[in-house]
Amino acid sequence: MKAILDHVGIAVRDLQAALAFFRDGLGLEVHASEEVGSQRVRAHVVPAGESALELLEATAPESPIARYLDKRGPGLHHITLRVQDIASALDQLKRRGIRLIDDQPRPGAEGSLVAFIHPSSAHGVLVELKQAAAALFESRAASGRSAASPPSAHAASASFSTQDVVTTLQLARRLTLGSIELISLTDGFFRLDGGAMFGIVPKPLWERVTPPDQRNRIRLGLRPLIVRGVRTMIIDAGIGDKMPEKLIDIYGIDRERHLDHALADAGLAADDIDIVLASHLHFDHAGGFTRRDEHGILRPRFPRAQYIVRRGEWDDANAPTARTRASYLPENFAPLAEAGVLQLVDDDVTIMPGVRVRRTGGHTRHHQMVVIESEGQTAVFVADLLPTTAHLSDAWIMGFDLYPTDTLKAKQAFMREAIERKYLVFFEHDPAVAAGYIGERDGKRVVESVL
């Protein structure tokens, strides 16, 4: 059983005193708190490297945390270990005579499955096992939601009374497509000007769909996709960690939870990636391709991977114009050629069995989407052809696009195809929806979200 430390839960009686230690003393960042009403618990998440601490406060006297504090006083409440397959982990523990609080997994936060191990079998520590959300869809028509049941208020049995507590945002969301596994990851969020995101669409129309902040920016996701077939591939790699302060501010980059956390959540390390595939080389897609080492030298972020880029895109990125220069940052791609890990492809080729690229043009001249097929099912990573679910209408095209009339043609053709053939579409920049099916209702395009 491979287990990764997800978080450590700490029962806190005096929050201010706890903050004085964890935040002011240790200098850790404390996230906004989350209240878990059904469990009468408030959780303050404190990221610490790949894992986190969770400061748990009782919000009512009958809260399990209040009972815990009465019995044992403040301190370590539980540790949570993430496993790939919680059912087989529980079987293995049962065979060894380990005492479990839950002998079957139960629904936890955000579609995860959890089960507690009794402290009497775990050296006095309450151990929670967690399997991150899994959504399996058997038929193309079926929604993939079946496996991701809503959190339940079901209480743990046994005298050791405890509850699962809500953790932070879901970092890795997975489903299977035939024999291929797809895992949507997050590299956090960023913000772009709402006007630029919707091109010619007047603000009174787009602001109703995506309200801007005071600086007229809208919040966008960064969602690279892992494709696991005969090899393990990542499509795009987020915005990365090389942006200077000024641009972090301008683009409102929020990477409190980023690609490293998401990969860990998916049970993957950088070394597991065989192929990195670029939709195009803009900084919000290729930023995570490279990273500075401890000497400040730029290196490929995935040391074992071959990086695959379309030749036309590579050429355009290396000969930017005044219009494109701010989006093509050489630090994201030049080191790949230097390290000898770059592979340029010319056409709509198959990258690995079941995965091929298709040029869309429009956004950049050689922008491409990725089509994934297995056992009669098709998923498409459309990248900036359809950045969010707010871009379904024909004319809602980004002002950033270099060839908007080409975008329009590619989009209209893709929409027909996606609706007819029931493609599962991945939205790289949607702040909430990672993937869904596009359909039509009352003459309007809609997305039935799956992830």
Which range, of 47-55, 110-118, 200-208, 384-392, touches Zn ion by CB under 5 A? 384-392
Number of residues that bind Zn ion (CB under 5 A): 3
Sign of CA dihedral 392, 396, 398, 403: positive
Which range, of 70-78, 83-91, 307-315, 380-388, touches Zn ion by CB under 5 A? 380-388
Q: Are strands 113-117 and 106-107 parallel, antiparallel or unpaired?
A: antiparallel
Looking at beta carbons only, is 122 or 247 nearer to Zn ion?
Answer: 247
> How near is the Cβ of 435 to Zn ion at its closest, in Å?
16
Looking at beta carbons only, is 74 or 212 nearer to Zn ion?
Answer: 212
Amino acid, single-letter form, for residue 177: L
Element (DSSP H or E) covering residue 290: strand 290-292
> How near is the Cβ of 408 to Zn ion at its closest, in Å?
16
Angle subtended at Cα 367 by Cα 362 and Cα 368, rounded to the nearest 5 degrees? 120
> How many Å separate Cα 37 from the centre of its chain?
25
- Sheet harboring 350-352: ordered strands across? 350-352, 355-359, 368-374, 377-381, 424-426, 435-441, 444-449
Looking at beta carbons only, is 187 or 265 nearer to Zn ion?
Answer: 187
* Tally of CB atoms within 10 A around 140: 14
Looking at beta carbons only, is 22 or 190 nearer to Zn ion?
Answer: 190
Cα atoms found within 13 Å of the Cα of residue 192, Cβ hemisphere only: 19
Element (DSSP H or E) covering residue 205: helix 203-209
> How near is the Cβ of 429 to Zn ion at its closest, in Å?
6
> How near is the Cβ of 21 to Zn ion at its closest, in Å?
41
Looking at beta carbons only, is 164 or 284 nearer to Zn ion?
Answer: 284
> How near is the Cβ of 36 to Zn ion at its closest, in Å?
34
> How near is the Cβ of 105 to Zn ion at its closest, in Å?
37
Which range, of 171-179, 222-230, 372-380, 382-390, touches Zn ion by CB under 5 A? 382-390
Coil vs helix vs strand at 20: helix
Nearest to 402 by CA among 333, 334, 330, 317: 317
Q: Distance (Å, rounded) from C-alpha 223 to C-alpha 284?
A: 10
- Tell me if 401 contacts Zn ion by CB under 5 A: no
> How many Å separate Cα 395 from the centre of its chain?
28
Among 241, 384, 401, 430, binds Zn ion (CB under 5 A): 384
Exposed e or buried b per residue across 109-127, where buried means at least 16 C-beta atoms within 10 angstroms of its C-beta:
bbbbbbbbbbbebbeeebb
Which range, of 274-282, 290-298, 308-316, 437-445, touches Zn ion by CB under 5 A? 274-282
Looking at beta carbons only, is 77 or 366 nearer to Zn ion?
Answer: 366
296 contacts: CB under 8 Å, gap ≥ 6: none
> How near is the Cβ of 259 to Zn ion at its closest, in Å?
15
Region 275-314 residues binding Zn ion, contact defined as CB under 5 A: 282, 284
- Tell me if 128 contacts Zn ion by CB under 5 A: no
If you count them, how many residues does the chain have?
A: 451
> How near is the Cβ of 108 to Zn ion at its closest, in Å?
32
Looking at beta carbons only, is 282 or 391 nearer to Zn ion?
Answer: 282
> How near is the Cβ of 349 to Zn ion at its closest, in Å?
21
Looking at beta carbons only, is 128 or 284 nearer to Zn ion?
Answer: 284
- Tell me if 316 contacts Zn ion by CB under 5 A: no
Looking at beta carbons only, is 241 or 284 nearer to Zn ion?
Answer: 284
Closest CB to Zn ion: residue number: 282
Contact positions toward Zn ion, by CB under 5 A? Answer: 282, 284, 384
